[in-house]
Amino acid sequence: MRLLTVLCFLWLSVGVFARHFPLKVKNVADFNYVATPCSSNTSSAWLDIILLIDNSATMGNASLRQIGLSLSSEFSQYTIGPYGSSASRVAIVTYNAGANLIGDFNALSTIQKITAALTSIRQTNVVQIEYGLYDALEIARDMAQLAYEQCTSENGFYHQPNPAAVVLFGAQAPFVDSIDKITQVANQLKSWANLITVNYNVNSVDLTNFLNSIATPYMNLSVSKTLYDDLEFNLMQTNCFCDFGPQLSAFDPVKNRVVKYAECSYNSEELGLTWGTAEALCNSYQSNVVLAPLTSSLRYNFTVSIYQNALPGFMVDPIYIGLHRNSRKAWVWYDYDGSEIPDSGSFSNWAPGYGFNSTGDCVAIQGGNAEKSSSYLWINAACNITTTNIDNARCGYHACDASNMYQSALAGLNHRCVIFESDVKKKKAFEARRKLLKETRKNKNKA
């Protein structure tokens, strides 16, 4: 046991102290100071995509042909292959009076097979689709759940499942008395996948309202000139997610949708980390985690909103952020790869009496009433937490996306976008996080 403790200390020491050496400082042009966009590289996407296609008489052969050709063109941009190969998988289900699995992930293993399946779909003479839609959603739910459960554990190693998206092309609204039952299975499905709906009968108010009600928020689409651009956006947003902690996002009023960015964050105390320096509060757990770079109003305001929403009426303690003086006495932030980026001067939020010329080589938010903006002004602080008694930090890391995949440990590759080595550790961390928030709300005095 003592040997194991020593080995663990030595391993952690490498991660904690390695960055005390001078780090590479990037050029300003090499970093996005506003926010890191999610990758839009479809050829590198690693998605499970399940298509549910209404082939009732209401849809018609002309629309089915258009859907088949358009999706074939769309998926030709993707790399199709088995799980674990940095590739996407596609399954197809049609529905009318019943549901029919045209091909699962194994059967549709190439773009040629996907194209053949899509272009072979024909309309039926059926108009009523209630039972078929329900069954199709059940098939998709079970398929997404099974894929997740098969991939999260493999010989003791943690494997990140392909994020799943179910795309429902509908032309016929279900009867009113069946909507509750169908909605129930749709909600179950959304525990395992994003549900993207495509309205192929925009003149039907009943269909529009129904599809909008079951879709993942802001993932309800309609036939338009931009349909497949919008579909691609939603698929790539599905392929952009955080293993732990909230994901940076913002509302786009022009396109009426929420845009996720490839940035994740959490509080160091959520994982029980109490190391000697501000930097080690984040990177002692995983080397791909850094003190959060709050280099823009978008990043800053999103971070503030996390505390304001989680702790209304309570006090927030001082918390380290990523701005610091490096070994060359230059003010820099950490990028998510551990390198340093110069402060651009485009955004800052210093408290009165603090700034770049003040003593203290690290920076923290000053704390106070969680609902007041003044609590999140920046103050200089020493970097050694035993000197400052600031034992909490806002940590950030790059989200999983098409350019940043969690690779299989069995394949001899590295963890690149996740925090936990096993699903068990992940579940324990989420439970500890819930308990921490509960205790925080219980014990902290109201301001």
Q: DSSP labels for 155-198? A: TTB--PPPPEEEEEEE-SPPPGGGHHHHHHHHHHHTTTSEEEEE
User: Residue 126's CB: how many other CB atoms inside 10 A?
Assistant: 17
Each domain of the chain, given as residue ranges in start order, spans 23-38+259-443, 42-239
Domain 42-239 fold is Rossmann fold (3.40.50)
Q: What is the pLDDT of residues 59-113, one digit of tens each?
A: 999 999 999 999 999 999 999 998 767 799 999 999 999 999 999 999 999 999 9
Q: Assess contact for 70 and 224: CB atoms under 8 A.
A: no
Is the CB of residue 174 less than 8 Å from the CB of residue 196?
no
DSSP-derived pairing of the beta strands 319-325 and 362-365: antiparallel
Which band of pLDDT confidence, cut at 50, 70 and 90, is reported for residue 445? Answer: very low
Q: Which residue has tokens 């003044």?
A: 374
pLDDT tens string 355-376: 999 999 999 999 999 889 899 9
pTM of this structure: 0.86
Q: What is the pLDDT of residue 4?
A: 28
CA distance 285 to 277: 13
Whether residue 59 contacts residue 172, with contact meaning beta carbons closer than 8 Å, is answered with yes
Residue 250, beta-bridge partner list: 259
Q: How many CB atoms lie within 10 A of CB 242?
A: 21
pLDDT tens, position by position, 120-174? 999 999 999 999 999 999 999 999 999 888 765 544 445 678 899 999 999 999 9
pLDDT in tens, 375-425: 999 999 999 988 999 989 999 999 999 988 765 443 334 445 766 665 666
Alpha-carbon gap, residue 416 to 405, rounded angstroms:
6
Whole-angstrom CA distances from 121 to 63, 151, 400 are 11, 31, 34
Q: What is the spatial distance between Cα 340 and Cα 329, in angstroms, rounded to a whole number?
A: 12
- State the Cα–Cα distance between residues 410 and 151, nearest whole angstrom: 12
Q: Are 203 and 173 in contact (CB under 8 A)?
A: no
Structure-token pair, residue 282: 């984040």
**CB distance 211 to 199 below 8 Å:** yes
**Summary mean pLDDT of the chain:** 85
Among candidate residues 245, 247, 337, 331, the one with its CA nearest the CA of residue 283: 337
CATH superfamily label, 23-38+259-443: Mannose-Binding Protein A, subunit A (3.10.100.10)
Q: What is the predicted pLDDT for the residue at 149? A: 81
At residue 105, the pLDDT reads 97
Coil, strand or helix at 178: helix
